[in-house]
Amino acid sequence: MNAAPTFASFPGRERLVARLDEAVALGDDQAVTAALRGALCGLIRDRDVHLPEAVFAPIDDHYARREIYRSADYGYSVVAMTWGPGQGTPLHDHCGLWCVEGVWHGQLEITQYELLDRDGDHARFRMHGGMLAGIGSAGSLIPPHEYHTIRNPSDRDVAVSLHVYQSEMKQCAVFREQAGGGFVRQAVALARDAC
């Protein structure tokens, strides 16, 4: 029998969970993600909510993924990501899960892509827009519009983002650009770093 996960306690955790529960209880993907964007923007600015100190410590060779909460009632997962200077993701999807992402500390460069066509593991994309997101901003991804990259553009500062996923995200697909054009899809298991 698997034990239920335990998560770090932090100041304002109950307030964060209550706001997220309220949003997720709406049920409809569009309504949920809109409510979560508003909730995250408010929570990031709430002086009584402080993420665990560990989420501000980068890891040298990869961006950190630290799950800080998972709802037993609604199934959503909250992951704090720590981005060292210049760290980022390859082009990837969320395997069909909606996600709302908010910048807690620093800045992140987010680039969205539109899938033009796919033949098996080969795909073609077009850059569909991008933004430099600062503290207190939040955005959402709702499949099929889920292809994107995230990168910390700073060469010296750490960035931290909070991601609320529809459920625990254990894997995703990354798309590696090929020399002759196009991308090749690769399934990737996602690790969690200690909090």
Residue 185 lies in a domain: yes
Residue 134 lies in a domain: yes
**Distance, CA of 80 to CA of 66 (rounded, Å):** 5
pLDDT at position 8: 79
Query: Per DSSP, which regions of the chain are E strands?
Result: 64-70, 77-83, 91-92, 99-105, 108-119, 122-133, 138-141, 148-151, 159-165, 171-177, 183-189
Residues annotated in the binding site, as ranges?
A: 92, 94, 148
Residue 2 lies in a domain: no
Whole-prediction pTM: 0.93
Total structural domains within the chain: 1
Residues annotated in the binding site for Fe cation, as ranges?
A: 92, 94, 148
* Whether 39 contacts 19, CB under 8 Å: yes
Please write the tens of the pLDDT for every residue from 123-156.
999 998 899 999 999 999 988 889 999 999 999 9
Please write the tens of the pLDDT for every residue from 62-74.
999 999 999 999 9
Residue 173 lies in a domain: yes
What's the mean per-residue pLDDT of the chain?
A: 94
Residue 7 lies in a domain: no
Please write the tens of the pLDDT for every residue from 30-61.
999 999 999 999 999 999 999 999 999 999 99
Q: What is the CATH number of the domain that holds 80?
A: 2.60.120.10
Query: How does residue 165 score in pLDDT terms, banded at 50, 70 and 90?
Result: very high
Amino acid at 81: M
Find all residues with CB under 8 Å of 35, minimum gap 6, and list them.
Answer: 22, 23, 26
Amino acid at 55: V
pLDDT for 1 beyond 50: no
Alpha helices in the chain (DSSP H): 13-24, 29-45
Residue 90 lies in a domain: yes
Cα angle: 93, vertex 98, 100; to 5 degrees: 100
pLDDT for 2 beyond 80: no
Residue 144 lies in a domain: yes
Quote the domain boundaries for residue 32: 13-189
Residue 195 lies in a domain: no
Nearest to 8 by CA among 159, 165, 160, 194: 194
Please write the tens of the pLDDT for every residue from 87-129.
999 999 999 999 999 999 999 999 999 999 999 999 999 998 8
